[in-house]
Amino acid sequence: MSLAPTDGETPKESVPSKPLTSQDQPSKSGEEKLAPGRVVAAIIFALFALAFFAAGAALAITPANQLPGFLGYANSHTHHTLRGIGSLIVGLVFTAAAWFALRYQSLALEQARAADVARQAPQARSVADADDSENLPAA
């Protein structure tokens, strides 16, 4: 038995559609919300990375007798090349840490999300079936 109207027939009862809530709408993987702590950690890591990149560039370019005391002032005209390279490497490490803070998803977290979706799917299906059975006309 088809509920759709055929040629020239009008439906006797219209079935009201239930508006989708945020729980019913499928979530896209690109729109997942991150924990605020992860975002703050990523920003802090990025700021440290920028500071170490700047210090590395200053150590590699500026002669030792023109550096401020906290960067290793020395009474010579040589450059602190090794310190500059080390600072750039530490900057890369902080850049990787910022990337991991935003993008890394652990396997355990993915398995927990899959289990939640699998557990909620039968519940949502049974609720939808119950709602549909209430809206069907009596035979």
Task: Give the least confident one: 31-35, 61-65, 95-99, 111-115.
Answer: 31-35
Average pLDDT over residues 123-139: 60
Two structure tokens written together for 137: 């006309």
DSSP label of 79: B
Q: Which residue has the higher pLDDT, 118 or 74?
A: 118
- Please give the Cα distance from 96 to 86 (Å, whole number): 15
Two structure tokens written together for 14: 């219209």
pLDDT exceeds cutoff 70 at 139: no
Average pLDDT over residues 112-127: 76
For the chain, give percent helix, strand, coil, nearest 5.
65, 0, 35
The structure's pTM equals 0.55
pLDDT exceeds cutoff 70 at 136: no
pLDDT exceeds cutoff 90 at 87: yes
Q: Is 139 exposed, middle or buried (0-12, 13-18, 19+ CB in 10 A)?
A: exposed
Two structure tokens written together for 77: 């005209």
Listed by start position, the domains of the chain span 34-115
